[in-house]
Structure formats: C-alpha cells, structure tokens
Structure 1
Amino acid sequence: MTAPEPSATDSGHSPLYLKLLAETAKIGWTELERFFARGMLLRVARDLDLVTVAAAIAEDDADQVARWLSSGLVERMMSETAADWAARDPDLWAVVVSPWVCVQERG
C-alpha cells in the first residue's frame, strides 16, 4: 500500500515534498532490519510529518534536522526500539532519502 497520490490541487508543498510523498510507503519491520543493521535507519516521532522530515534531510536543512535530533524527535534507530518493533510488527511507513531510510510508526 502506498501513500495517497498528490493531486493537482495540492498547494503549499514543494515539488520535492510531493515527490517524497509519492515515494512513501507502508513497510514491514523485516524489510527494514537490514537498514537498521547498517545504521541507516532514522526513527521519526509520530508528532512529526514523515515527509517534512525527509524533505529537510534531502534539502540539507542542517539547523532544522539538528533541532529534531537534539529534541529526540528524530534519532538513529535504537536497538530497544528495533527489538520492540520486531516483537510487535507495528504499522510502519518509510521513505528513502539516501543514505537514510526515515521510518515512522503509525496507528
């Protein structure tokens, strides 16, 4: 299942945001484990818009990303969270912003 397609009436979002939105998809933990093992997985808090975070990373908005990192709203996936997700298999959505995979639990 993929994210809803942006419509021609979407406004207020950059072309990059709309591109990333179209590339955002539901994914299972087992598909993400290899990215976790390589240290390439970023967990995004439920309070944030996953695509906004991905766009900030893609645009190299270092100040905004640093604020999210320092507040814990975005973090490298911790082993405790990985173990929890492996046990529960929650609804996860992800988007790739090379070399990172941004992932968020929903539901």
Structure 2
Amino acid sequence: MDSKEMTDLRSELMIKLNRETAKIDWQALQRFYAQGAVLVVAPELDLVASAVAVAEDNSQYIADLLAKGLLQRADENHAQQWLADQVEVWAVVVAPWVLVQRERQSPLQ
C-alpha cells in the first residue's frame, strides 16, 4: 500500500469517527467505566485525532500521551465528580475503548 492509499484510509477513518462522535451524559457511560473501558482525552487534544491513534494502534504516540497525562483511564475521581455534576461529555467508541472528553469551560462559566 502506498502513502496516498494510507493517507486516504486515515482520512476515511477520521471522517467515520468524527461522524460517530456525540455528546452523552456521563451517567450513561457508567457501565463502560465499571468495565475499565473509558479513556479520558485532555481538553487540549483533538478527540477524533486521538481516537484515530487508538484505532490505528499507534503505540508510541499513545504511550507519549499516557506519560504526559493527556490520555488516561477514567478513575474514581472522574466518575464521582462527573456524576455529581451531571456532566455531559463528547464520546467516541474505538472498541474496546470509549474515549471521552469534557468540553473546555469558558472563563465566564
């Protein structure tokens, strides 16, 4: 496969994942959190680009994000606080993972 074909496939994957990204209440994701299948993407990252990296199993990039704390498994603090605050997150599924990201908060909020 040449680089143009790879670029085309990556573009198609990005479009597909972008279309599958939606807002959802954190409460609806509790089952996935309990299974340890939720990854939290830092607000400064692009959620869809991060999902593409996971889908393509870009292990070096993912390891770098994990090391920097920009990608992490949802933990008890996330779960409790987001449930209490009735948070809505952006989410996209890259089986077996659900990647989530909170919207950036405006300074006025």
Under a length normalisation based on structure 2, what TM-score does the superposition of the two structures give? 0.84
Aligned pair partner of 1:30 in 27, 30, 48: 27
Percent identity reads 47
- Alignment length (residue pairs): 95
Which residue number corresponds to residue 48 of structure 1?
Answer: 45
Amino acid in the other structure paired with 2:43:
R
1:1-107 matched pairs, under 5 angstroms = 14-106=11-103, 107=105
**Structure 1 stretches lacking a partner, 5+ long:** 1-12
CA distance in 1, matches of 2:40, 2:67: 13
User: Following TM superposition, where does structure 1 have runs of at least 4 consecutive aligned residues deviating by more than 6 angstroms?
Assistant: none
CA distance in 2, matches of 1:33, 1:91: 12
CA distance in 1, matches of 2:88, 2:102: 6
Q: CA RMSD in A?
A: 1.0
Displacement, 1:103? 0.3
Displacement, 1:55? 0.3
Q: Per-residue displacement from partner, 1:37-72 (whole Å, max 9, x unpaired)?
A: 000000011000000000000001001000000100
Question: Aligned with 2:23: secondary structure?
Answer: strand
Displacement, 1:14? 1.0
Largest Rg, 1 or 2: 2
CA distance in 2, matches of 1:89, 1:72: 24
Question: Aligned with 1:14: secondary structure?
Answer: helix
